[in-house]
Amino acid sequence: MAVRALRSFGRSSGRVFFGIQRIRNPPRWGGLRGLKCMADTSEQGSYVTHSQPTTYSLGEWMTQIQSFSDIYFVVNGYRMGGSIVALPNLVAQWKPQTLDEITPSCLSFLELISPETECVVIGTGKGSTKLPLTIERWFRDKKMTFEALPTSSAVSTFNLLCGENRRVAAILLPAGSS
């Protein structure tokens, strides 16, 4: 049921997500277990997944952001350009590339994660860590805990919380965006 809901969300959201990496053996809390993908990666509508982890230092099922630059992230050995959304068991490239491009409809996928995440870490790039008022209001209306940080700090925070087996989500804009 959740897989169907997320696939239909991915199709209906204007292709907010693309390029999915599902981490093998997801953590016990569930998250998006069994999700093949959420994003359409081609014009024909085919779905692509990568399921072979290459990092084992924190457990083979765990997402680890190993490095990043101004334009990409390296997650479990996969180089992912642009913005990403990271969960302990799933990573997806994300269409919005700046804070101004993030809308409440881009964030609605967070409501589908079950059980709920404890915290959403938002990496805002190099610029201001002040989120647009509409985004702050959306998080407060949904009663979700969030923290906006520069991307470098957000990556460290996400890796730390994942290492503690916490239910965390990260929305990370490239470090070069402002």
pTM over 0.85: no
pLDDT digits (tens, 9 = 90+) for 96-112: 999 999 999 999 999 99
Average pLDDT over residues 132-145: 95
Domains of the chain: 2-172 (3.40.1230.10)
What whole-number distance in Å separates Cα of residue 59 and Cα of residue 65?
Answer: 13
> Of 77, 13, 61, which is closest to residue 39 (Cα–Cα)?
13
Find where tokens 């190099």 sit: 126
Average pLDDT over residues 41-60: 37
Say which residue, 133 or 25, is predicted with more confidence. 133
The pLDDT, as a whole number, for residue 6 is 52
In angstroms, what CA-CA distances link 101 with 76, 104, 161, 172?
Answer: 27, 10, 27, 13
> What residues contact 1, with CB distance under 8 A and at least 6 apart?
none
Is residue 12 pLDDT above 50, yes or no? no
Mean pLDDT of the chain: 76
In angstroms, what CA-CA distances link 61 with 84, 93, 100, 118, 176?
Answer: 18, 19, 33, 19, 29
The pLDDT, as a whole number, for residue 79 is 93
